[in-house]
Chains A and B, each alone.
Chain A
Amino acid sequence: MIIDHPLLGPRDSAEFVYLGDACLIERPDWQDENALDAFHDYLYLRDNPAGEHRELWFHEQGDRSWLVVTRNTLTHEITKVELARDVARALGRSK
């Protein structure tokens, strides 16, 4: 597969390490009333879609960017590649 890195252009997927669902960005608040349940769901519950999937890839043999790649699990078509940091900020994550 080829991942079109937002900063570096098209790169072979062999340069990357795969992590999993991009929902891992949305780490719950540890002080939340239901933190234990929230963390459980965060860590263990995943959708397993046949189709579009947003997932985290790390450019380990490259610039060390974490990317959010939107990939179709049926065809491997990649429709969007974003810097995970931008995605995290858009979700309201900061410090």
Chain B
Amino acid sequence: MSNTASRQSHRLSGGLVDRNAPLDFTFNGSHYQGFEGDTVASALVANGVKLVGRSFKYHRPRGILTAGSEEPNALLTIGRGAYAEPNTRATVAELYNGLAASSQNHRGPLGFDFMAVNDFFSPFLSAGFYYKTFMWPRAFWEKVYEPLIRKSAGLGALSGEPDPSTYDKGFLHCDVLVIGAGPAGLMAAKTAALSGARVILADEDFRLGGRLNSETYEIDGMPGSEWAQSIVQELSEMDNVRVMPRTTVYGSYDHGIYGALERARDHLSDQGDKPRQILWRIYSKRAILCAGAIERPIAFGDNDRPGIMMAGAVRSYVNRWGAAPGKRVAIFTSNDDGWRTAADLSAKGIEVAAVIDPRTGNAPYQIPNTQIFMGDAVAGTYGRKGITQIALASGREIPVDCLAVSGGWSPNLQLTCHQRGRPAWREDIAAFVPDQGIPVGMSVAGAANGELSLKSALTEGLNKANAALKDLGMKTAPQAAPKSDDEKIAATPFFYVKESKARAWVDQQNDVTVKDVKLAHQEGFRSVEHLKRYTTLGMATDQGKTANVVGLAIMANARGQSIPETGTTIFRPPYTPVPIGALAGRARGKDFRPYRLTPSHSWAEEQGATFVEVGMWMRAQYFPKPGDKSWRDTVNREVETTRNSVGICDVTTLGKIDIQGRDAAEFLNRVYINGFAKLAVGKTRYGMMLREDGIAMDDGTTARLGETHYVMTTTTANAGPVFRHLEFCRQCLWPDLDVHLISTTDGWAQFAVAGPNSRKLLQKVVDTDTDLSNEGFPFMACSEITVCGGTPGRLFRISFSGELAYEIAVPARYGDALIRALIKAGEEFGVTPYGTEALGVMRIEKGHAAGAELPGTTTAQNLGMGGMISKKKDCIGNTLSERPDLNRDDGLRLVGFRPVDRSQHLKAGWHFLSKGSPCDMAHDEGWMTSVAFSPSLDHSIGLGFITRGSDRMGEIVRAVSPATNVDIEVEIVSPHFIDPEGERLRV
């Protein structure tokens, strides 16, 4: 390996690279030099590097085939360490100083790949090989075959480290989105821009101009690339235009929305801390697709050797980058356009060894000092790691180091298919063109629409832009298309050289050959969709951009049908691969989704609390103290202190819905199963809500603060869905009820103050005009109060813990101050804050249902609340809750469980069986929903559903978990483990 930059052996004069800005880079550890303006591919071409990778399945040596995003072969890993990105197309990767590229998919050096042995086994590795071979034994699939296949057939590997780059997302709006900045796109963008429309012009290339940069066209008397630069310059200076180079519009979505990926900083040695890529969502009123065309290869024997390149790509390397893909080049073309390669090479002084055209008749161009073979074809090639010679169907052999191939141009119509658009075949250009079902608001101009000549592309760009402006009711500026060449484009359909003896490749990225397509036909996989899936034709990351039409043509031939009769598969987004990192944007790690902090969060952090994510909230889980040996110690202490003295828990996260209006009571009556019409002002009531199908949806309390004013609470997780449901009831079912809803979950900080000393504690915080005595503020009372000398608040005497308890609320901004005041006031009682774990233990000790008991499959009857459903009124879910199957005598009931051997610990998810029953689903009687270690009882307890549970108190059943070999005896008990009569609540 040389450490000095090697001479650019294949660099020519001219081209759109900056020779004053040399850039050093490495490929597989060897040092090379290119120039600013190069891609990795053009720099490799300039350095005479032909072999750049190994093929997917057979590990065949492969070179650069194209000069654009359609590249199937030259997939490299670019970047170092965690920044390394596999499967980057060298043809679109912009060169920067210090770039490190390496080839993929080989073991040992690229020049001697041990896996190339696959190529010698190719007779056994044809289409459907995996389906046929790895059927047996079944157990081998996951452990042996799949890892083996994944390792040997594959692309580049990820670094295995977290992606250190940042990505962003953005939203853009425009009147006209122009996709592609070739001649048609520039013309369309300019026309729309001059009329004053808001225009976005996006192109995947870093240099706008499309084929104008690769050809020797003249427009208005200047070189095409200069004309392109002048238009781009003009557009860039206009306020109503946004020019977006390095931006791939990868998908067309409903209603004029497009997805685009801007590679903002991939071309810089140092990305700094700015986003590497930006994912744009573009809202357009009209879009004009000017994506150009993709040249397709011809299938002939050994047509995949390094040095065999598309004819248009050869022109790109020579004209745009001043890099010669070969020094003695042959051209194999079935159309006039391919001959331009011969003319351009000849003009650059590169030896054109031969032009071979399968058409008979006269040569369309005169090329001096060249052998011309009309009516002949290339049938084979030689040279393992790079082409050395071609063999014609006529038998002649010609030594070359590069073969340029053109089978004609296929309009690049991928985006027209994203909403199931079906292209139609156009015989005169032997290609599919956009037809039915292109996205609403999209029009197609230029080569993408089959207008393959420069003049027609410019004219159509102008016309389609004017049509779009007219559609939008905008004025159109009178202007004509500039003067330009109108080159010859005659083409004859020609896809496969029948005289080929060796394998002829159709899809180079997925290693699909002509033989594979014929095999698919022979085995009955004849529809285009079957062909695709059986052979994997067109299923690689390039979606068969170069391969599909050739494959379809061979299948059509085998079926004895025309190409339009055979049909075509269509494309889906993305047009080119989009990194997952870009789709994720900033939503990763702790920002994966939004999270909310409770008003006491800072205070809880100061106490060293451990937090847990609950329905988008971070809630304190428990508050460890020095000396606690485990979280269980902490939780036990929090429970015991609360039950014996007083504890405080932030319950802000429970949903709060403010309900007001003259019909608010009637409304509540209809959404809860139990009656609310008679709830007195200053009182709170527990309520259960059903879904319309009779299944329990949510529960909570609702307090009546005034004649027409209620506050409902919901569970934390269901705050959003319940609110949505209530709005549905209000707007869609009973639109004239006078009732209004507003979510106030975030508006109020709310704390549960629970335990025998809770009243004494609150008396120190609540202003003295509120009588907190048991008579003055009894169980289930509620009131608007003031605290700490005039701060407005609300007080509810409700209890989830089963103790004498209150919930006190203040506007959220006072929440931090209130928790500090409450804790300070509680010092003399030894108050403890408690978290969600202690909350859970206490509610299980009391047998209160929570999320695990309301999973969306249980009924009020299952929960033992069937009797609450009022039969005297309508409410959501009451009619269907009467269905016989929901009211069977042997239905599930929520009950408590305790282990017969009290030292055993229960687990949620265990199933219940009667003693002596076999352990199978037929004998399953229910399951454990929630468990806890009860410090009050000093053993494990559980809640669960079991058949006829309420009639089986005292029965011993088995709790089993076959997966973990558990089979223990548990006793069915009341779910109210503590204070079953509820006396503590009422003192």
Give the CA-CA distance A60 to B735 in the complex, in Å: 18
Question: Does the CB pair B882–A60 fall under 8 Å?
Answer: no
Give the CA-CA distance A19 to B724 in the complex, in Å: 10
Measured CB to CB, the closest approach of chain B to A15, in angstroms, equals 12
Question: Does the CB pair B732–A35 fall under 8 Å?
Answer: no
Contact code string B415-453 (vs A, CB < 8 Å = 1, else 0): 000010000000000000000000010000000000000
Interface presence of B880 (CB below 8 A): yes
Question: Does the CB pair B254–A1 fall under 8 Å?
Answer: yes
B879 partner, pick from A39, A60, A94, beta carbons under 8 A: A39
Measured CB to CB, the closest approach of chain A to B689, in angstroms, equals 16
Question: Does the CB pair A85–B732 fall under 8 Å?
Answer: yes
Of all chain A residues, which has the CB nearest B727? A64
**Across-interface contacts of A42 in B (CB, < 8 A):** 692
Interface positions of A from 24 to 51, Cβ below 8 Å from B:
24-25, 27-28, 30-31, 35-36, 39-40, 42-43
Q: What are 13 residue pairs bridging A and B, where the CB atoms are less than 8 Å apart in the complex?
A: A2-B283, A12-B283, A17-B724, A35-B879, A39-B692, A64-B727, A66-B727, A75-B419, A88-B735, A93-B733, A93-B735, A95-B666, A95-B737
Question: Does the CB pair A24–B734 fall under 8 Å?
Answer: no
Interface presence of B874 (CB below 8 A): yes
**Across-interface contacts of A94 in B (CB, < 8 A):** 734-736
Interface presence of B98 (CB below 8 A): no
Q: Beyond A1-B254, A24-B732, is A36–B880 a contact (Cβ under 8 Å)?
A: yes
**Across-interface contacts of A87 in B (CB, < 8 A):** 732
Give the CA-CA distance A6 to B477 in the complex, in Å: 35
Interface presence of B39 (CB below 8 A): no
Known: A84-B731, A93-B735. 20 other contacts (CB 8 A): A19-B728, A24-B728, A28-B879, A30-B879, A31-B874, A39-B692, A56-B728, A58-B724, A58-B728, A60-B720, A66-B727, A66-B728, A75-B419, A77-B440, A83-B731, A93-B732, A93-B734, A93-B736, A95-B734, A95-B737
**Across-interface contacts of B440 in A (CB, < 8 A):** 75, 77
Interface presence of B67 (CB below 8 A): no
B735 partner, pick from A31, A35, A89, beta carbons under 8 A: A89
Interface presence of A80 (CB below 8 A): no
**Across-interface contacts of A35 in B (CB, < 8 A):** 879
Question: Does the CB pair B883–A95 fall under 8 Å?
Answer: no
Give the CA-CA distance A54 to B254 in the complex, in Å: 18
Give the CA-CA distance A25 to B727 in the complex, in Å: 12
Interface presence of B878 (CB below 8 A): yes
Question: Does the CB pair B735–A85 fall under 8 Å?
Answer: yes
Measured CB to CB, the closest approach of chain B to A39, in angstroms, equals 5
Of all chain A residues, which has the CB nearest B743? A64
Interface presence of B85 (CB below 8 A): no
What residues make up the interface of A, taking CB atoms closer than 8 Å to B? 1-2, 12, 17, 19, 24-25, 27-28, 30-31, 35-36, 39-40, 42-43, 56, 58, 60, 64-66, 75-78, 83-85, 87-89, 93-95
Give the CA-CA distance A1 to B692 in the complex, in Å: 29
Measured CB to CB, the closest approach of chain B to A83, in angstroms, equals 8
Question: Does the CB pair B733–A27 fall under 8 Å?
Answer: yes
Question: Does the CB pair B732–A30 fall under 8 Å?
Answer: no
Give the CA-CA distance A30 to B419 in the complex, in Å: 44
State the total of A-B contacts with C-beta under 8 angstroms: 82
Interface presence of B257 (CB below 8 A): yes
Measured CB to CB, the closest approach of chain A to B103, in angstroms, equals 41
Q: Is the interface of B mostly helix, strand, loop or mixed?
A: mixed
Question: Does the CB pair A43–B727 fall under 8 Å?
Answer: no
Measured CB to CB, the closest approach of chain A to B831, in angstroms, equals 39
**Across-interface contacts of B874 in A (CB, < 8 A):** 30-31
Question: Does the CB pair A85–B731 fall under 8 Å?
Answer: yes
Q: Is the interface of A mostly helix, strand, loop or mixed?
A: mixed
**Across-interface contacts of B666 in A (CB, < 8 A):** 95
What residues make up the interface of B, taking CB atoms closer than 8 Å to A? 253-257, 283, 419, 440, 663, 666, 692-693, 720, 724, 727-728, 731-737, 874, 878-880, 882-883
Give the CA-CA distance A60 to B719 in the complex, in Å: 12
Question: Does the CB pair B880–A43 fall under 8 Å?
Answer: yes
Question: Does the CB pair B724–A60 fall under 8 Å?
Answer: yes
What 3 pairs between A and B have smallest CB-CB spacing? A30-B874, A94-B736, A2-B255
**Across-interface contacts of B419 in A (CB, < 8 A):** 75-76
Give the CA-CA distance A65 to B730 in the complex, in Å: 10
Question: Does the CB pair B878–A88 fall under 8 Å?
Answer: no
Question: Does the CB pair B731–A36 fall under 8 Å?
Answer: no
Q: Beyond A40-B880, A60-B720, is A84–B732 a contact (Cβ under 8 Å)?
A: yes
**Across-interface contacts of A78 in B (CB, < 8 A):** 255
**Across-interface contacts of A24 in B (CB, < 8 A):** 728, 732
**Across-interface contacts of B733 in A (CB, < 8 A):** 25, 27, 88, 93
Measured CB to CB, the closest approach of chain B to A92, in angstroms, equals 10
**Across-interface contacts of A39 in B (CB, < 8 A):** 692, 879-880
Give the CA-CA distance A77 to B253 in the complex, in Å: 12
Question: Does the CB pair A36–B732 fall under 8 Å?
Answer: no
A58 partner, pick from B692, B727, B879, beta carbons under 8 A: B727
Q: Beyond A1-B255, A2-B257, A2-B283, is A36–B883 a contact (Cβ under 8 Å)?
A: yes
Measured CB to CB, the closest approach of chain A to B708, in angstroms, equals 16
Give the CA-CA distance A16 to B666 in the complex, in Å: 28
Give the CA-CA distance A31 to B871 in the complex, in Å: 11
Of all chain A residues, which has the CB nearest B737? A95
Of all chain A residues, which has the CB nearest B883? A36
B732 partner, pick from A1, A2, A17, A25, beta carbons under 8 A: A25
**Across-interface contacts of B255 in A (CB, < 8 A):** 1-2, 76, 78
Measured CB to CB, the closest approach of chain A to B885, in angstroms, equals 12
Give the CA-CA distance A93 to B257 in the complex, in Å: 37
Q: Beyond A30-B878, A43-B693, A66-B727, is A89–B732 a contact (Cβ under 8 Å)?
A: no
**Across-interface contacts of B257 in A (CB, < 8 A):** 1-2
Q: Beyond A19-B728, A60-B720, A64-B727, is A36–B879 a contact (Cβ under 8 Å)?
A: yes
Give the CA-CA distance A89 to B734 in the complex, in Å: 9
Question: Does the CB pair A36–B283 fall under 8 Å?
Answer: no
Give the CA-CA distance A17 to B728 in the complex, in Å: 12
Measured CB to CB, the closest approach of chain B to A74, in angstroms, equals 9
Measured CB to CB, the closest approach of chain B to A9, in angstroms, equals 13
Give the CA-CA distance A65 to B255 in the complex, in Å: 22
Question: Does the CB pair B731–A65 fall under 8 Å?
Answer: yes
Measured CB to CB, the closest approach of chain A to B517, in angstroms, equals 32
Question: Does the CB pair A66–B732 fall under 8 Å?
Answer: yes
A43 partner, pick from B256, B692, B732, beta carbons under 8 A: B692
Of all chain B residues, which has the CB nearest A74? B420
Give the CA-CA distance A61 to B880 in the complex, in Å: 32
Measured CB to CB, the closest approach of chain A to B412, in angstroms, equals 24
Measured CB to CB, the closest approach of chain A to B917, in angstroms, equals 34
Residue among A60, A64, A77, A87 facing the most chain B CB atoms (10 A cut-off)? A64
Of all chain A residues, which has the CB nearest B256? A2
Measured CB to CB, the closest approach of chain B to A55, in angstroms, equals 12
Give the CA-CA distance A55 to B382 in the complex, in Å: 64
Give the CA-CA distance A83 to B735 in the complex, in Å: 11
**Across-interface contacts of A28 in B (CB, < 8 A):** 879
Question: Does the CB pair A36–B735 fall under 8 Å?
Answer: no
Question: Does the CB pair A66–B731 fall under 8 Å?
Answer: yes
Of all chain A residues, which has the CB nearest B738? A95
Question: Does the CB pair A89–B736 fall under 8 Å?
Answer: yes
Of all chain A residues, which has the CB nearest B255? A2
Question: Does the CB pair A56–B880 fall under 8 Å?
Answer: no
Give the CA-CA distance A1 to B440 in the complex, in Å: 12
Residue among B253, B693, B728, B732 facing the most chain A CB atoms (10 A cut-off)? B732
Question: Does the CB pair B254–A76 fall under 8 Å?
Answer: yes
Measured CB to CB, the closest approach of chain B to A58, in angstroms, equals 6
**Across-interface contacts of A76 in B (CB, < 8 A):** 254-255, 419
**Across-interface contacts of A75 in B (CB, < 8 A):** 419, 440
Give the CA-CA distance A85 to B731 in the complex, in Å: 5
Q: Beyond A66-B731, A76-B255, is A95–B736 a contact (Cβ under 8 Å)?
A: yes
Give the CA-CA distance A65 to B741 in the complex, in Å: 12
**Across-interface contacts of B882 in A (CB, < 8 A):** 36
Measured CB to CB, the closest approach of chain B to A28, in angstroms, equals 8
Give the CA-CA distance A95 to B256 in the complex, in Å: 41
Give the CA-CA distance A65 to B883 in the complex, in Å: 33
Of all chain B residues, which has the CB nearest A4? B255
